[in-house]
Amino acid sequence: MRMPELLPVLDQKTIEKLIDETAKRISTDYAGRPLVLIGVLKGAFIFMADLVRRLTIPVTIDFVGISSYGDQTVSSGCIRLTRDIGMDVCGRDVLIVEDIVDTGLTLAFLIAHIRSLGASSVNVCALLDKRARRRVEVAVPYCCYEAPDEFLVGYGLDFDERYRQLPGVYRLQFNPEGAS
Ligand code: IMP
């Protein structure tokens, strides 16, 4: 049996500072433009909560559910909408809030979906971006931290639905049983 070990990547203080800076940029860039934030469940729930409380502009909030991973650490490549947006985004400025961008497949799917609903602009904010692993080109203009090409957990991110509650971000390392 594989025994995962948690190796620190970002602590709580560092995450707060990164979100502060990103929230300031968003508040400046969208000043005077009412913004719709769409959080991607489940991973973005903690990031969304911390981000919105730092924004100084009026926003409305909704969530979408998307599934692509199952209980594996690699994307299946098969994206499924498990919960659709519940509000009208036609003619609105939309900012997608993601926990982490990896292959880009989820975002490419979601951007196309939101555009098809008639949004006047669609932009992306992510806590983490594993840019080296992109399979489709998607820009992440509001990226808090460029992450290493490792499987990460904590601060909303899970492995098989575990570790979401951790206040920091950790790298999940699988050691063979018996290894020190
Ligand atoms: P993508 O479609 O490959 O870009 O994957 C995006 C989604 O995969 C994210 O919203 C996460 O839910 C999940 N994901 C990607 N990398 C990780 C990771 O390192 N840890 C936990 N979840 C991840």
Amino acid letter for position 58? P
Using only the alpha carbons of the chain, give its radius of gyration.
Answer: 16
**pLDDT at position 79, please?**
87
CB of 99 closer than 6 A to ligand 1?
yes
d(CA 127, CA 113): 21
Q: Which two tokens stand for residue 63?
A: 């969530």
Does residue 21 lie in a domain region?
yes
Does residue 150 lie in a domain region?
yes
**pLDDT at position 67, please?**
82
This prediction has a pTM of 0.93
CB of 101 closer than 6 A to ligand 1?
yes
Q: Show pLDDT as tens, one digit a residue, over the chain (180 residues).
A: 567 899 999 999 999 999 999 999 999 999 999 999 999 999 999 999 999 999 999 999 999 999 875 445 666 668 889 999 999 999 999 999 999 999 999 999 999 999 999 999 999 999 999 999 999 999 999 999 999 999 999 999 999 999 999 999 999 998 876 554
**pLDDT at position 58, please?**
96
Q: What is the 3-state secondary structure (H, E, C) of the chain?
A: CCEEEEEEEECHHHHHHHHHHHHHHHHHHCCCCCEEEEEEECCCHHHHHHHHCCCCCCEEEEEEEEECCCCCCCCCCCCEEEECCCCCCCCCEEEEEEEEECCCHHHHHHHHHHHHCCCCEEEEEEEEECHHHCCCCCCCCEEEEECCCCCEEECCECECCECCCCCCEEEEEEECCCCC
How far apart are the CA of 158 and the centre of ligand 1, in A?
Answer: 9
**pLDDT at position 96, please?**
98
Does residue 175 lie in a domain region?
no
**pLDDT at position 91, please?**
97
Ligand 1 atom at minimal distance to the Cα of residue 40: 10
Does residue 68 lie in a domain region?
yes
Cβ contacts of residue 97 below 8 Å, gap of 6+? Answer: 37, 38, 39, 40, 44, 47, 48, 51, 125, 126
Does residue 177 lie in a domain region?
no
d(CA 20, CA 35): 18
**pLDDT at position 17, please?**
98
- Residue 77 belongs to domain spanning: 5-26+35-170
Does residue 142 lie in a domain region?
yes
Q: Per residue in 99-118, pLDDT tens?
A: 999 999 999 999 999 999 99
Residue 20, domain CATH: 3.40.50.2020
Does residue 72 lie in a domain region?
yes
Q: Which residues are identified as catalytic? A: 102
**pLDDT at position 78, please?**
82
CB of 27 closer than 6 A to ligand 1?
no
Does residue 125 lie in a domain region?
yes
CB of 75 closer than 6 A to ligand 1?
yes
The domain tally of the chain equals 1
Strand 142-146, strand 121-129: pairing: parallel
